[in-house]
Amino acid sequence: MVIFWPPVLFRLAVVLALALAAGFVLGETWGYLTAIAGLLVLIGLHLYYLRRVTAWFAPQGGEPDMTELPEGFGAWESVFQALRLWRRREREQHSELERMFERFMEAASALPDGIVILDAADRVEWCNVRATEHFGLNAARDRGYSVTNLIRHPAFIEYLVHSDTADPLVLADEASGTVLSVQLLPFQQMRRMIVSRDISQWRRVDAMRQDFIANVSHEMRTPLTVVAGFLEHLADSPDMPPAERARIAQTMLEQSRRMRRLIDDLLTLSKLETQEAPTLNEAFSVADLIDEAVNEARTLSATRHTIAVRSLSPVEIRGAREEIRSAIENLLSNAVRYTPEGGKIEVTGLCDADALRIGVSDTGPGIAVEHLPRLTERFYRVDKSRSRETGGTGLGLAIVKHVLVRHGGRLDIESQPGAGSTFTMVLPAARVSQDAGAIEADK
């Protein structure tokens, strides 16, 4: 609280005392003149301080500094102190508001959704960084412009006009492959807010899910149709010759095994996707693992191919042994299935300072370059008819990819039509413990 009246009354009392003294000593006229002069001095000082305070509140060229106020005396000293305290608090509050606004801007920029605030006339007031990415807006450049002039998609304009629906609008950009979910929400009294979300990844996942269900259904339906057809044939032909009955039984057995392989591969993929990455605790010999996988491949080949093991490094790897073995077996199984009879398959296991590389090369028909990026997709086949003839499930390379990802590795594929293919499992050096130098082996 400003103490105002006591100093004023004190100065008036001083002027009155001086006037009485002058009147007593010099006469009544000088007493009045002294009183008038004293009051004029007091009034002049008050007017001077009022001018300074007015200039302080309403500066001509920007906001003045607090030190521009004079020290004053009496009541004005208290007033100036109160004004300085008020200005200090006002600046502190202003700084706090600026910090809060900066935090809000940072939070809005970190949101995964785009936000555009519109005024009552649907003009852009503000947008965050994500909205800039979604719609190509600029918060500084586009402020005050109608949003329909900035986002010219017909479906968006229609949605903006008929915004009574609660369902979001889906906008797809075929050029970039981006799919946005856009929703218009009421904001304050007359304003509105546009909230956008990039659902491209969700759409891709949903499309993959639908394709996966369709592919599984198709793969299961084919052998089931064969088995059901033969069972109906057997039921309708009780006097069927034993030789034909045995042939039908063998075909049904092969189809049932095909369904079992498909189910086993699906369960393997599901386990790989849901379990945590393997630890570095289990160590095993790469050479032993390759020998086991090669023996399985030779059994599957039934002497129709030449399978050789070359350039094996005596190393141990740490991870999930059965997963790595399954990956190698899948690569060898694919090589056997797709390499013509009389072809050659080679397996290598080379280790250097960067990684362990386990490669499977074949002399098969090769693969065109446009198919290479999609080979690890589930059920993707370059030649669907040939894949079904060879009994593949279409999941082998997907299993290999998941195994390597879980071990921090990758699958490299090199192939040319008519020149065979090479599939290389690359495992990081962190999972490898190498003994003394490399050896060359032919088996």
Q: How far is CA 95 from CA 63, 67, 69, in A?
A: 15, 19, 22
Q: In what order do the strands lie in the sheet with 114-118?
A: 124-127, 114-118, 191-198, 178-187, 169-173
As annotated, the residues of the chain forming the CATH 3.30.565.10 domain(s) are 283-434
21 three-state secondary structure = helix
Instruction: Report the Cα 358 to chain-centroid distance in Å.
Output: 32
Can you give the pTM of this predicted structure? 0.54
Per-residue confidence (pLDDT) for residue 74, from 0 to 100? 67
Per-residue confidence (pLDDT) for residue 59, from 0 to 100? 59
* CATH class belonging to 283-434: alpha beta
As annotated, the residues of the chain forming the CATH 1.10.287.130 domain(s) are 209-274
- φ and ψ at residue 317, rounded to 5 degrees: -125, 145
| Domain covering 209-274: architecture | Orthogonal Bundle (1.10)
* pLDDT tens-digit series, residues 369-422: 888 888 888 777 776 554 455 556 678 888 899 899 988 899 999 998 888 999
* pLDDT tens-digit series, residues 249-307: 888 888 888 788 788 878 887 777 777 777 667 788 888 999 999 998 998 888 899 99
356 three-state secondary structure = strand
Per-residue confidence (pLDDT) for residue 436, from 0 to 100? 38
Q: CB neighbours of 74 closer than 8 A, spacing ≥ 6?
A: 7, 8, 10, 11
Res. 340: pLDDT tops 70: yes
% of the chain residues with pLDDT over 90: 14
Beta-bridged to residue 307, according to DSSP, are: 345
Q: How far is CA 333 from CA 36, 124, 173, in A?
A: 118, 61, 41
Q: CB neighbours of 281 closer than 8 A, spacing ≥ 6?
A: 318
Which whole number is the average pLDDT over 168-195? 85
As annotated, the residues of the chain forming the CATH 3.30.450.20 domain(s) are 111-198
Cα–Cα distance measured from residue 392 to residue 338, given in angstroms and rounded to the nearest whole number: 10
Domain 111-198 in CATH: superfamily? PAS domain (3.30.450.20)
**Average pLDDT of the chain to the nearest whole number:** 82
> Which long-range contacts (C-beta less than 8 Å, at least 24 apart) are formed by 38-41?
38/14, 39/15
* pLDDT tens-digit series, residues 202-260: 887 777 777 777 777 777 787 888 888 888 888 888 888 888 888 888 888 888 887 88
